[in-house]
Amino acid sequence: MTDTPEAFDAVEVIATKRDGGRLSDPQIDWVVDAYTRGVVADEQMSALAMAILLNGMERPEIARWTAAMIASGERMDFSSLSRPTADKHSTGGVGDKITLPLAPLVAACGVAVPQLSGRGLGHTGGTLDKLEAIPGWRAELSNAEILAQLEDVGAVICAAGKGLAPADKKLYALRDVTGTVEAIPLIASSIMSKKIAEGTGTLVLDVKVGSGAFMKDLEQATELAETMVALGTDAGVRTVALLTDMSVPLGLTAGNAVEVAESVEVLAGGGPRDVVELTIALAREMVAAAGRDDVDPADALADGRAMDFWRRMISAQGGDPDAPLPTPRETQVVTAPTTGVLTGLDALGVGVAAWRLGAGRSRPGEQVQAAAGVVLHATVGDRVVEGQPLLTLQTDTPERFARAEQALEGAITVGPDGQEPSARQVVLQRIDR
Amino acid sequence: MTDTPEAFDAVEVIATKRDGGRLSDPQIDWVVDAYTRGVVADEQMSALAMAILLNGMERPEIARWTAAMIASGERMDFSSLSRPTADKHSTGGVGDKITLPLAPLVAACGVAVPQLSGRGLGHTGGTLDKLEAIPGWRAELSNAEILAQLEDVGAVICAAGKGLAPADKKLYALRDVTGTVEAIPLIASSIMSKKIAEGTGTLVLDVKVGSGAFMKDLEQATELAETMVALGTDAGVRTVALLTDMSVPLGLTAGNAVEVAESVEVLAGGGPRDVVELTIALAREMVAAAGRDDVDPADALADGRAMDFWRRMISAQGGDPDAPLPTPRETQVVTAPTTGVLTGLDALGVGVAAWRLGAGRSRPGEQVQAAAGVVLHATVGDRVVEGQPLLTLQTDTPERFARAEQALEGAITVGPDGQEPSARQVVLQRIDR
Kindly write down the DSSP assignment for every residue of B34-100, as one continuous string. HHHHTSS-HHHHHHHHHHHHHH---HHHHHHHHHHHHHTSB----TTSSS-BEEEEE---TT--THH
Q: Which residues of B touch A180 (CB under 8 A)?
A: 18, 47
Pick from A323, A339, A372: which residue ends a domain?
A323
| Structural domain includes residue A80 | no
Contact call for A46 and B49, based on CB within 8 A = no
A215 and A310, same domain (yes or no): yes
**Distance separating alpha carbons of residues B286 and B37, to the nearest angstrom:** 37
**B430 pLDDT exceeds 90?**
yes
Which stretches within A179-296 are classed as H helix?
Answer: 184-197, 218-234, 257-267, 273-289
Return the percent helix, strand and coil in chain A, to nearest 5: 45, 15, 40
**CATH code where residue B393 lies:** 3.90.1170.30
Comparing CB atoms, the residue among A44, A55, A177 nearest residue B178 is: A44
Pick from B272, B301, B323: which residue ends a domain?
B323
Mutation choice for A interface testing from B13, B44, B46 by most A CBs within 10 A: B46
Contact call for A47 and B42, based on CB within 8 A = no
**Distance separating alpha carbons of residues A289 and A304, to the nearest angstrom:** 23
B317 and B336, same domain (yes or no): no
A52 and A175, same domain (yes or no): no
**A64 pLDDT exceeds 60?**
yes
B174 and B267, same domain (yes or no): yes
| Structural domain includes residue B131 | yes
- Regarding predicted confidence, which is higher, B371 or A417? B371
| Structural domain includes residue B171 | yes
Identify the domain containing residue A392 by its residue range.
330-415
| Structural domain includes residue A238 | yes
**B121 pLDDT exceeds 70?**
no
Q: How confident is the model at residue B314 (pLDDT cuts 50, 70, 90)?
A: very high
Mean pLDDT of chain A: 94
**Distance separating alpha carbons of residues B325 and A310, to the nearest angstrom:** 85
Helix (H, G, I), strand (E, B) or coil at A363: coil
Comparing CB atoms, the residue among A15, A55, A179 nearest residue B14 is: A179
| Structural domain includes residue A113 | yes
A388 and A310, same domain (yes or no): no
A185 and A125, same domain (yes or no): yes
**A122 pLDDT exceeds 70?**
no
Contact call for B47 and A44, based on CB within 8 A = no
CA B334 and chain centroid, separation: 28
Burial of residue A384 (CB within 10 Å: 0-12, 13-18, 19+) is buried
Mutation choice for B interface testing from A178, A182, A184, A186 by most B CBs within 10 A: A178
Q: How confident is the model at residue B419 (pLDDT cuts 50, 70, 90)?
A: confident
The domain total for chain A is: 3
B150 and B206, same domain (yes or no): yes
Closest alpha carbon to B46 in B58, B62, B35, B57:
B35
**Distance separating alpha carbons of residues B82 and A76, to the nearest angstrom:** 78
A195 close to A76: Cβ distance less than 8 angstroms: no
What does the DSSP assignment read for B200-230?
-SEEEEEEEESTTSSB-SHHHHHHHHHHHHH
| Structural domain includes residue A32 | yes
Determine the pLDDT at residue A304.
97
Determine the pLDDT at residue A1.
40
**Distance separating alpha carbons of residues B392 and A397, to the nearest angstrom:** 77
**B345 pLDDT exceeds 70?**
yes
Q: How far is A427 from chain B (nearest CA, A)?
A: 30
ipTM of this model? Answer: 0.87
B113 and B214, same domain (yes or no): yes
Contact call for A11 and B45, based on CB within 8 A = no
| Structural domain includes residue B80 | no
**A204 pLDDT exceeds 90?**
yes
B313 and B337, same domain (yes or no): no
Contact call for B178 and A18, based on CB within 8 A = no
A113 and A22, same domain (yes or no): no
3-class SS letters over A321-357: CCCCCCCCCEEEEEECCCCEEEEEECHHHHHHHHHHH
**B1 pLDDT exceeds 50?**
no
B223 close to B112: Cβ distance less than 8 angstroms: no
B134 close to B264: Cβ distance less than 8 angstroms: no
Pick from A303, A323, A343: which residue ends a domain?
A323
Q: How confident is the model at residue A419 (pLDDT cuts 50, 70, 90)?
A: confident
Mean pLDDT of chain B: 94
Q: How confident is the model at residue A3 (pLDDT cuts 50, 70, 90)?
A: low
| Structural domain includes residue A78 | no
Determine the pLDDT at residue B344.
92
Interface check for B44 against chain A (CB to CB < 8 A): the answer is yes
Q: Which residue among the candidates A64, A83, A88, A89 is catalytic per the annotation?
A: A89
B33 and B102, same domain (yes or no): no
Determine the pLDDT at residue A120.
65
Determine the pLDDT at residue A74.
92
Q: How confident is the model at residue B99 (pLDDT cuts 50, 70, 90)?
A: very high
- What average pLDDT does range A166-172 have in this prediction? 92
B383 half-sphere exposure, CB direction, 13 A CA radius:
3
Is residue A311 among the annotated active site residues?
Answer: no
By C-alpha distance, the chain B residue nearest A363 is B1
Is residue B194 among the annotated active site residues?
Answer: yes
**CATH code where residue B22 lies:** 1.20.970.10
By C-alpha distance, the chain B residue nearest A53 is B18
What are the counts of helices (DSSP H) followed by strands (DSSP E) for chain A?
Answer: 16, 13
Q: What is the percent of chain B where pLDDT is above 70? A: 98
Interface check for A427 against chain B (CB to CB < 8 A): the answer is no
**CATH code where residue A319 lies:** 3.40.1030.10
- Tally the residues of chain A: 433
Residue B342: which residues within 8 A CB-CB, separation 6 or more? B336, B378, B379, B380, B381, B382, B383, B384, B390, B412, B413, B414
B125 and B215, same domain (yes or no): yes
- What average pLDDT does range B314-332 have in this prediction? 97
Interface check for A27 against chain B (CB to CB < 8 A): the answer is no
Most confident of A148-162, A255-269, A413-427, B155-169: A255-269
Comparing CB atoms, the residue among B15, B18, B46 nearest residue A43 is: B46
**Distance separating alpha carbons of residues B187 and B205, to the nearest angstrom:** 13
Q: How far is B175 from chain A (nearest CA, A)?
A: 9
Residue A210: which residues within 8 A CB-CB, separation 6 or more? A216, A245, A246, A247, A248, A347
Amino acid at B177: V
